[in-house]
Amino acid sequence: MTAFVYRHSGMLLVLWILFIFLLCSTPGHYFPTASWMELFSLDKWVHAGLFFVLCILCFLLVFKRGQSKAWMLICTAVCILYGISLEYMQAHWFSNRSFDYFDMLANSFGCGMALSMNKVLFRKFSVWAN
């Protein structure tokens, strides 16, 4: 599985970007509402998880191309800006969706967690680089 992710990280990144866009542009009435979800803030953990994976896939491309680690900061910033722009699109373009600062923070938190784990990622995927 790890080898597959490493080899196809570019394609997986594009598919993941489209998946996040699809989820964020889907009208709100298609999502289930349950009070227990609000208790555990499951929505925020989903946001963080989506953007964690997004950053990890970006980092894989940086690693595969032998770019400097400064590019990881650039990838993180771009992923955070993508999350912010999706929140603005939800407020202005998508039906039955709204802007949420806490979603934006959860997206950024997921990106930050991915950045903090980059050393583990580089060790894990260095096996597949050769």
pTM (two decimals): 0.81
| Number of domains the chain is built from | 1
d(CA 14, CA 35): 33
Proportion of the chain above pLDDT 90, given as a percent: 32
Asked if residue 26 belongs to a domain, the reply is no
d(CA 72, CA 54): 12
Residue the block writes with tokens 């790890």: 2
| Kind plus residue range of the DSSP H or E element containing 67 | none
d(CA 21, CA 65): 26
Q: What local confidence, expressed as pLDDT, does residue 89 receive?
A: 86
Query: Which residues, in sequence order, are CB contacts of 101 under 8 Å at separation 6+?
Result: 87
d(CA 111, CA 55): 6
Domain range for residue 87?
Answer: 43-130
More confident residue, 117 or 42: 117
Asked if residue 82 belongs to a domain, the reply is yes
Asked if residue 47 belongs to a domain, the reply is yes
Asked if residue 2 belongs to a domain, the reply is no
Report pLDDT digits (tens) over 82-104: 999 988 888 878 777 777 788 89
Asked if residue 63 belongs to a domain, the reply is yes
Q: What local confidence, expressed as pLDDT, does residue 126 receive?
A: 64
Asked if residue 122 belongs to a domain, the reply is yes
